[in-house]
Structure 1
Amino acid sequence: MTDHTEGTAHRTAPAAEVEKLGYVGFQTPDLDELVHYYTHILDFSLVERSSDAAYLTTGFDHHSVVLERSAEGARARSFVGWEIKDSLDDAERRIRERGYTTERRKDIAPGSPDTLIVVEPGSGTPLHLYEQIDTTSTPVSWLRPTKLGHVAAFTPALSDIQGFYEELLGFRWSDTIGDFFVFLRCGPDHHSANFMQSSKFRDMHHIAYEARDLNHLQMLLDHLAANDHRLEWGPGRHGAGHNIFTYHRDPAGNVVELFTQLDTISNEAKGHFDPRPWHEDAPQYPKTWQADVIAANKWGPLNPALLEH
């Protein structure tokens, strides 16, 4: 295991400081099918809907998930929205100074008044940087996930994508499994973005939504079962991040994680995760895990299909 200072030494000021995962886009040939899944299975609130797009939320933000109709087939993680601390003007200037091309738009979506776009290297995925999006009044629900937690993707060059997110967007390193899976945070949560190196796969690995506790997670899983959505893996507890996890697929085949009890760092200056009785180390610092069953699932078996890279 590596020293916990990995990924933090000699760190330069980022061009933009991301503080929150905002939303993720999906393309689908069957918009009605995915809208039904998000509204009836996961109980998201539908904020706006047209013939070609739907905007759904878990909370107060105008949208957490954007679904777009596409005649070219399904694509997950077609774009990702990140809320930043900086002004867009300052972020745009600094990102361009570092050699990246940007685009500025004020019409990209309902509820998005001003957006700076930069393309993620390796994948070509547009990243939407914004200071704020509109809020909406969302009906109270005991079933709905509390928030969009994180999005995981494949990448052809792990060190390059880690450097991009840390040096350009201010992410911090949380953990690595072996030499192929890295976890990055932009707030107190253990990860908001994670990447698995692959020369075989592209685009999204999975998207994750948070349950507030075990009772809420059980409620969500019972609701999935009542609507004939079966789990592919879990419940289990990951080693890296230590969240209790479950994985299933949405109607388009995208892998969806429902989780709870993810590690957090409430004091970045101390550099270790808030203590939990199931941690392997005291204190638990960011580290590189051996690529074994404990890093993936402390409770039980692996799922080779979901870990293939």
Structure 2
Amino acid sequence: METPYPTPADTPVRVSKLGYVEFQTPDVDRLTNYYTKVLDFVAVEQDQSEAYLTTSFDHHAVVLKKAADSKARTVVGYEIFEELSDAQRRLTAAGYSVERRSDIAPSTPDVLVLAEPLTGSTIHLYDAQSTSGVEGYTPIRPSKLGHVASFVPDLGPVQDFYQGLLGFRWSDMIGDFFVFLRCNSDHHAANFMASKKFEGMHHIAYEMRDLNHLQTMLDHLAKNDFRLHWGPGRHGAGHNLFTYHKDPDGNNIELFTQLDVITDEAKGYFEPRPWHEDYPQYPKTWEVDLVAVNAWGPIEHSMIEH
């Protein structure tokens, strides 16, 4: 298995999942309406300047903050397995500037704050959120926040940060510019594309339970005048079925299902699926071609133009 940026000997922080992503928007009400009426999230807290939205028992998966202009992925929050004091000590020892704050959000009273290399985004590390009060799922609502993809000017420092500092594992690569990183059994919670042309977030992705659930949501999108600009298709890296549309601020939203998982890190291969190209399917570097990006064709150019 290829590991171009191996984890250093010192124990990294143990991230357990992607918890939330923050968006800045000039119209909090408009974007909240999209999330609650179209994607069927629940607004746990909301006023004119901010909103906290969730799909499950966690207090929030999406944070909306009022700003003059739209900007995606200004903050990314990750839940960790361990005490914050231990994580802070190791991060500081590794040379990263870390601030511990208790005023971030009503549901996360204690948060470690640090800067992601090269992007300008802020990373939050926390050990728990308060509960949202939401019980169960509706026929429409996504099951969870799945992953977030971003452009970066250079993969090296970002991979060093996520793999060496936060304990992410290398899942796949497309060419020499597109990397997929996992923090739990899911194929990726974060993926990054090296680009001198683009910056910021490429897309944010929400998981649907199965193909029927995805179809139900797509029909619901159509009834609310949201049209797909790519998909349905199947990615090669990760093998998830995908669709992409844009939210009212122009952010790319992926709805997906059937993402690859690794349930046994010691074995190191993805759980077998009939549509895999290799048997077993190990993490690898993919050629930049149709199979890697969309086995069903065609390619969406922002996935390969960099």
Question: What band does the TM-score fall into relative to the shorter chain?
Answer: over 0.9
Question: What's 1:195 paired with?
Answer: 192
What displacement does 1:306 show?
A: 4.6
Provide closer, same or farther for how the CA distance between residues 208 and 161 of structure 1 changes in structure 2, counting only shifts above 3 A.
same
1:245-293, Cα deviation, whole Å (9 max, x unpaired): 0000000000000000000000011000000011011110000000111
Supply the distance in 2 between the matched residues of 1:261 and 1:10 (Cα, whole angstroms): 28
Distance (whole Å) between structure 2 residues aligned to residue 14 and residue 235 of structure 1: 40
Decide whether the 8 Å contact of 2:182 with 2:188 is kept in 1.
yes
Q: Which residue of 1 aligns with 2:13?
A: 16
Asked whether the 8 Å contact 1:52–1:69 carries over to 2, the reply is: yes
Q: Secondary structure at the match of 2:73?
A: strand
Partner residue, 2:84: 88
Q: Work out whether 1:236 is the aligned partner of 2:248.
A: no
Matched-pair identity in %: 60
Q: In 2, are the aligned partners of 1:14 and 1:169 still within 8 Å (CA)?
A: no
Indicate the residue corresponding to 2:73 in structure 1.
77
Equivalent in 101, 105, 115 of residue 105 of structure 1: 101
2:90 aligned counterpart, secondary structure: helix
CA distance in 2, matches of 1:231, 1:172: 31
TM-score (norm 2): 0.97
Q: Which runs of 5+ in 2 are unaligned?
A: none
CA distance in 1, matches of 2:209, 2:166: 28
Shift of 1:13: 3.8
Aligned to 1:41: 38
Matched with 2:156 is 159
Task: Give the structure 2 partner of residue 213 of structure 1.
Answer: 210
Name the structure 2 match of 1:252: 249
Q: What letter corresponds to residue 59 of structure 1 in structure 2?
A: S
Superposition deviation, residue 9 in structure 1? 5.3
SS in 2 for 1:33: helix
TM-score after normalising by structure 1 = 0.96
Structure 2 counterpart of 1:223, one-letter code: H
Answer with 16-25 or 139-148: which moved more. 139-148
Question: Quick check: 1:171 aligned with 2:156?
Answer: no
Contact kept? 1:25, 1:76, Cα under 8 Å: yes
* Offset, 1:211: 0.3
Q: Pick closer, same or farther for the CA change 1:200–1:248 going to 2, 3 Å.
A: same
Question: Cα offset for 1:10?
Answer: 6.4
Letter in 2 for 1:188: S
- Contact kept? 1:231, 1:248, Cα under 8 Å: yes
Matched, 1:270 2:267: yes
Q: Equivalents in 1 of 2:7, 2:85: separation in Å?
A: 26
The gaps in structure 1 that reach 5 residues or longer are none
- Write the distance in 2 (CA, Å) between the matches of 1:10 and 1:194: 17
8 Å contact from structure 2 (residues 41, 54) kept in 1: yes
Cα offset, 1:160, TM superposition: 1.7
Query: Distance in 2 between the 1:166 and 1:10 partners?
Result: 6
Question: 51, 55, 59: which is aligned to 2:52?
Answer: 55
Match of 1:137 among 133, 140, 143: 133
Measure the CA separation in 1 of the matches of 2:175 and 2:219: 34
Tell me the SS of whatever aligns to 2:222.
helix
Name the Cα RMSD after superposition.
1.2
Alpha-carbon contact 2:6-2:163 (below 8 Å) kept = no
Give the direction of change, closer, same or farther, for the CA distance of 1:194–1:305 in structure 2 (3 Å limit): closer
Residue 124 of structure 1, aligned match among 111, 120, 124: 120
Are the aligned partners of 1:8 and 1:172 in contact in 2 as well (CA < 8 Å)?
Answer: no
Verify the 8 A CA contact 2:97 2:114 in the aligned structure 1: yes
Q: Name the counterpart of 1:301.
A: 298
Q: In 2, Cα distance between the equivalents of 1:267 and 1:84?
A: 20
Number of equivalenced pairs: 305
Q: Secondary structure at the match of 1:93?
A: helix
**How far apart in 1 are the matches of 2:302 and 2:253?**
14
Q: Which residue in 1 is equivalent to 2:182?
A: 185
Change (3 A) 1:303 1:142: same
Paired residues of 1:7 and 1:172 also in contact (CA < 8 A): no
With over 3 angstroms needed to count, the CA separation of the structure-2 counterparts of 1:204 and 1:14, relative to structure 1, is farther
**1:41/1:307 Cα in 2 relative to 1: closer, same or farther (>3 Å)?**
farther
